[in-house]
Structure 1
Amino acid sequence: MRLSASAPPRRTTTPFSLVLAAVLLLVGGLLLALPDRAGAAADTLISQGRPATSSSVEDGTFGPEKAFDGDSATRWASAEGVDPQWLRVDLGPSATVSRVKLVWEAAYATAYRVEISADGVAWTRLATETAGNGGTDDWTGLTGQGRHLRVYGTARGTPYGYSLYTVEVYGTSGTTPPPTGSFSVVAAGDIAAQCTASSSSCAHPKTAALAQRLAPAFYLTMGDNQYDDALLSDFRNYYDKSWGAFKAKTRPVPGNHETYDPAGPLAGYKAYFGSIAYPQGEPYYSYDQGNWHFVALDSNSFDDPAQIQWLKDDLARNTKGCVAAYFHHPLYSSGGHGNDPVSKPVWKILYAAGADLVLNGHDHHYERFAPQDPDGRATSAGIVEIVGGMGGAEPYDIETVQPNSQKRISGTYGVLRLDLTDTTYTWQYVGVDDRVKDSAPTYTCH
């Protein structure tokens, strides 16, 4: 092992040299004389189990989380034959990194960088490899601070892709180990225009690929899943070719376009999703994950007394500490459709039950609001609303900025990545270029 001391960051030697070094240690009895091993042992592992993303995956069995699961038999693998590729981990706010250990599979990098970033946009280089030969690379003596760390591969050592059994990041972090019950969710609304990946301007295949790379526990859609009239044939020809790849892990709700089907309102939507969208026999339903209760609603029929009574009863039965609801029409929006009062009675029910988060689509932009009550008054006891209608449909302009609106982005396709724990939630709006466009504060559940 090359010592780091005050020199620039170094890495271990090749696998053959490691074997030779082990023999010398056994023969010479020198194990206790290596100060860098003692120093490495004092480092704290801060990356295990943390949320991870990647530029691509070979398939669903080689997701980015595999490199951080503590299992040396599992691995992340990128798509084959494409440079560059990257693997990224969220270490939590204000992590300090002193060491990064990489264990490569046969598909290794001959050239790569280890980088750190506070916001996932601007990156600082911690280490550079230009003559990699696989095996184990142990970079010590690093000095870096930020939230996100990534391994950025620029040249492959094989015709395949990049593949890492483990990435171990050592240092200090304010959120290690991960908070209790943590999981991630990817969400978007207003998704499948009538186009496919054969058109470079078609956005929903790009948002679907991004959603898969983020590797969440499950996916939410906030309506208008398929344009224009949500026919079953259109679902099969367009949505199914992109977001349909993870249909089994999707929990959808309908939008107004799902009501335009000539065969009947929601006919194509129901035929395509089946029990996924109707797990309780209606287009509204609920489920739990961790300490979260999720309520999926059909805002096309908020005037239906049966749905309203179901919502009241469902919230009365809830025993979870955090509540999120999602439906198509936002009560508040700065976009072309603007505020939709049809949602106000539902907001009043949710607010009275102490709900924390509401997700909507309908307007084709991204927007987040400060906590507010149903009348639009800012209050710490209020509901946080997110408009996330940038899943693939043509963007809408921002028109009239509403009170309590904190951030608005139009013209950039992307998805929401929500990070939830037993007591908190936060999120990022990630563009199809894999750049984080907005990071929200961390909120504590009511």
Structure 2
Amino acid sequence: MHHLHASAPPRRTTTLSLLLAAVLLVTGGLVLASTGRAAAADPLLSRGKPATASSQESSGLAAAKAFDGDGATRWASAEGSDPQWIRVDLGATAAVSRVRLTWEAAYAKAYRVEVSADGATWTTLATETAGNGGTDDLTALSGKGRYVRLTGTARGTSYGYSLYEFEVYGTPGDTTPPGTGAFTVVAAGDIAAQCTASSSSCAHPKTAAQAQRINPKFYLTMGDNQYDDARLSDFKNYYDKSWGAFKAKTRPVPGNHETYDPAGSLAGYKSYFGAIAYPQGKPYYSYDEGNWHFLALDSNSFDDAAQIKWLKDDLARTTKGCVAAYFHHPLYSSGGHGNDPVSKPVWQILYAAKADLILNGHDHHYERFAPQDPAGKATADGIVEIVGGMGGAEPYPIETVQPNSQKRISGTYGVLKLDLTDTTYTWQYVGTDGQVKDSGPTYTCH
């Protein structure tokens, strides 16, 4: 529900002086973590840049509205809930020197302004504890990063948080990635129904477009890439016209629908992807990126002794600090297919090797679980499982909520955006409208 617009509160400008940089400065409740040179002449870096938020009050009040340079449009969070956040991706590392916030009537009484190199680890630039709305002009900031985030921790009204403009100023830096091994991956399963963009109800062209906008290091698929029986002709007619646009950067695994090809199990899948899906001559393989080791497994053949032996040997050889596996059938799921015990022996092997993350499809919904062991017991040294089967196939309802399930979304198509560093991982579930539908915690690798 849209709230009624009260008259804007008195405008206030908070300016920080170099003279006070040596001491902890509090001005009207604003505490700065560090200060630097005056930034009046630094260019505006945030206008028109990609933005995400923890929530939005409606589709017309999306995060991007706070970065469009139009003082009449705004972002508004969901009402009545703390905390809420909004962030912008500057596109490259920059030295941030100034942030200017123009509040609507729904302002923050308390908030933090933060900067991050990788979108996972955040450094506080400024903290407000006694905000009264209007305009907050935070100058003499000092911090480097690609991402800038405002996190509201206490609302000033009974509504939510709402910004007409969120402006970030600073000095653009070099475009080389930070020295943390940070990278982004997009993942989805259960993708290409037999339809194309000519049908407005066809979802996989829309998830492909969102996946491409994120522009990750590479793409993962968690099986059932092509419906209904994954013939080569169907791959060419449907998958290739959407997710096929970034086939060269895709690292797929097969699902059960890939086994239905009348020409032979996985025949169309193998013909379409070729060496991309069979880099080691089998439908399972591994590779490294940064400090991460990835295992692409074929859960159609978890009873194959050769794959199990290969998995154990591969895990014994890796020296990477973080391990992720992805395959089609989830051991735990609250959807129509439910828990699939075929994956339990593989979970036991991965758990013994201190693996961190498992990605699955099969059930057509999004779900994330707290860290758990193969027996389903919540434990800090457990594996985080995510079901991401909303790549384009018809959604399945949530049926039986499983223990340790933390969030479930059905009926909203989207992709997983995984942000990985040398020591941590987190993710967002991004809908086809570009809005973040869920954000995972930031976990540290085992």
Q: TM-score, normalised by structure 2?
A: 0.67
* Residue matched to 1:152: none
Corresponding residue number in structure 1 for 2:165: 126
- TM-superposition CA deviations, 1:12-47 (whole Å, max 9, x none): xxxxxxxxxxxxxxxxxxxxxxxxx9412999x999
Tell me the residue number matched to 1:429.
429
**Displacement, 1:393?**
0.2
Separation in 1, partners of 2:300, 2:93? 42
Aligned equivalents of 1:344 and 1:67: distance in 2?
Answer: 41
Using the TM superposition, give the Cα deviation of residue 124 of structure 1 relative to its aligned residue in structure 2, in angstroms.
2.2
Does structure 1 conserve the Cα–Cα contact (< 8 Å) formed by 2:120 and 2:419?
Answer: no
Q: Which runs of 4+ in 1 moved over 2 A?
A: 5-9, 50-55, 64-67, 89-100, 115-119, 121-128
Is the Cα contact below 8 Å between 1:372 and 1:378 reproduced in 2?
A: yes
Between the aligned partners of 2:50 and 2:344, the Cα distance in structure 1 is 35
Shift of 1:441: 0.6
Alignment partner of 1:124: what SS?
Answer: strand
Q: Report if aligned partners of 2:185, 2:419 keep a CA contact under 8 Å in 1.
A: yes
Contact 1:414 1:429 in 2 (8 A): yes
- Supply the distance in 1 between the matched residues of 2:353 and 2:37 (Cα, whole angstroms): 54
Q: CA distance change for structure 1 residues 38 and 349 in 2, over 3 Å: closer, same or farther? A: closer
* In 1, Cα distance between equivalents of 2:302 and 2:432: 33
State the 1:361 CA deviation. 0.1
Paired with 1:91 and 1:353, the residues of 2 have a C-alpha distance of: 25
Change (3 A) 1:117 1:303: same
Match for residue 348 of structure 1?
A: 348
1:62-104, Cα deviation, whole Å (9 max, x unpaired)? xx9894256xxxxxxxxxxxxxxxxxx958547547469xxxx
Letter in 2 for 1:125: Y
1:297-317 deviation line (CA, Å, top 9, x unaligned): 000000100000000000010
**Which residue of 2 is the match for residue 303 of structure 1?**
303
Partner amino acid, structure 2, of 1:243: W
Task: Give SS of 1:39's match.
Answer: coil
Distance 2:249 2:161 in 1: 32
Partner residue in 2 for 1:272:
272
Number of paired residues? 333
Q: Could you tell me how far apart the structure 2 residues matched to 1:268 and 1:423 are?
A: 38
Letter in 1 for 2:229: D
**Letter aligned with residue 335 of structure 1:** G
- For 1:40, give the aligned amino acid: A
Q: Within 5 Å, which residues of 2 pair with 1:97-108? A: 98=138
Matched to 1:376, the amino acid is: G
Query: Of residues 68, 71, 74 in structure 1, which corresponds to 2:92?
Result: 68
Distance 1:341 1:123, change over 3 A: farther
CA distance in 1, matches of 2:14, 2:315: 57
**C-alpha offsets along residues 204-245 of structure 1, whole Å, 9 cap, x if unaligned?**
000000001111100000000000010000000100000000
CA distances 1:337-365 after superposition (whole Å, capped 9, x unpaired)? 00000000000000011100000000000
Secondary structure, in 3 states, of the residue corresponding to 1:68? strand
TM-score by length of 1: 0.67
Q: Equivalent residue of 1:40, what SS?
A: coil
Shift of the 200–96 alpha-carbon distance from structure 1 to 2, 3 Å rule, reads farther
Q: Does residue 445 of the first structure (1) align with residue 416 of the second (2)?
A: no
1:254 — aligned with what?
254
SS of aligned partner of 2:38: helix
The answer to whether the Cα contact below 8 Å between 1:223 and 1:362 also exists between their aligned partners in 2 is: yes
Matches within 5 A, 1:362-381: 362-381=362-381
Aligned AA for 1:182? A
1:238 aligns to what? Answer: 238
Work out whether residues 371 and 383 of structure 2, in 8 Å CA contact, stay in contact via their aligned partners in 1. Answer: yes
1:8 to 1:122, Cα distance in 2 relative to 1, 3 A = same
Which letter does structure 1 place at the counterpart of 2:38?
A: G
Q: Given that residues 365 and 395 in structure 1 are in contact (C-alpha distance below 8 angstroms), is that contact kept between their aligned partners in structure 2?
A: yes
Partners of 2:93 and 2:172 within 8 A in 1: no
Check whether the contact 2:187–2:221 (CA below 8 A) recurs between aligned residues: yes
Query: How much does 1:126 deviate?
Result: 3.0
> What is the alpha-carbon distance in structure 2 between the residues aligned to residue 207 and residue 272 of structure 1?
20
Q: Distance in 2 between matches of 1:122 and 1:230?
A: 47
In structure 2, how many angstroms separate the alpha carbons of the residues matched to 1:267 and 1:93?
A: 46
Q: What is the rounded CA distance, in whole Å, between the counterparts of 1:394 and 1:354 in structure 2?
A: 34
User: Per the alignment, in what secondary structure is the counterpart of residue 39 of structure 2?
Assistant: helix
CA distance in 1, matches of 2:345, 2:208: 33
The answer for the alignment partner of 1:73 in structure 2 is none
Counterpart CA distance in 2 for 1:361 and 1:312 is 23
State the distance in 2 between where 1:245 and 1:378 align: 39
Deviation digits for residues 218-275 of structure 1 (CA, Å, limit 9, x no counterpart)? 0000000000010000000100000000000000000000000000000000000000
Instruction: Indicate if the aligned counterparts of 2:253 and 2:283 stay in contact, CA closer than 8 A.
Output: yes
Alpha-carbon separation, structure 1, partners of 2:256 and 2:120:
39
1:279-294 to 2 correspondences below 5 Å: 279-294=279-294
Task: Give 1:78's aligned residue.
Answer: none
Cα distance in 1 between the residues matched to 2:341 and 2:435: 34
In 2, distance between residues paired with 1:342 and 1:122? 46
CA distance in 1, matches of 2:335, 2:165: 41
CA separation of 1:347 and 1:139: change in aligned 2, threshold 3 A: closer
Letter in 2 for 1:353: A
Evaluate the alpha carbon distance shift between residue 196 and residue 325 of structure 1 in structure 2; reply closer, same or farther with a 3 A threshold.
same
Q: Deviations over 1:381-415 (max 9, x none)?
A: 11100000000000000000000000000000000
Contact 2:365 2:411 in 1 (8 A): yes
Indicate the percent of aligned positions where both proteins have the same amino acid. 76
Matching residue of 1:336:
336
1:401 equivalenced with 2:401 (yes/no):
yes
**CA distance in structure 2 between the partners assigned to 1:418 and 1:179 by the alignment:** 18
Q: Which letter does structure 2 place at the counterpart of 1:276?
A: I
Asked if structure 1 preserves the Cα contact closer than 8 Å seen for 2:45 and 2:169, the reply is: no
Q: Indicate how the Cα distance of structure 1 residues 445 and 179 shifts in structure 2: closer, same or farther if over 3 A, else same.
A: farther
CA–CA separation in structure 2 for the residues paired with 1:118 and 1:215: 25
Check conservation: 1:360, 1:386, Cα contact below 8 A: yes
Q: RMSD over aligned Cα, in angstroms?
A: 3.6
Give yes or no for the alignment of 1:40 onto 2:39: yes
Look up the equivalent residue of 1:237 and give its one-letter code: N
Q: Is the 1:253–1:277 Cα contact (8 Å) retained in structure 2?
A: yes
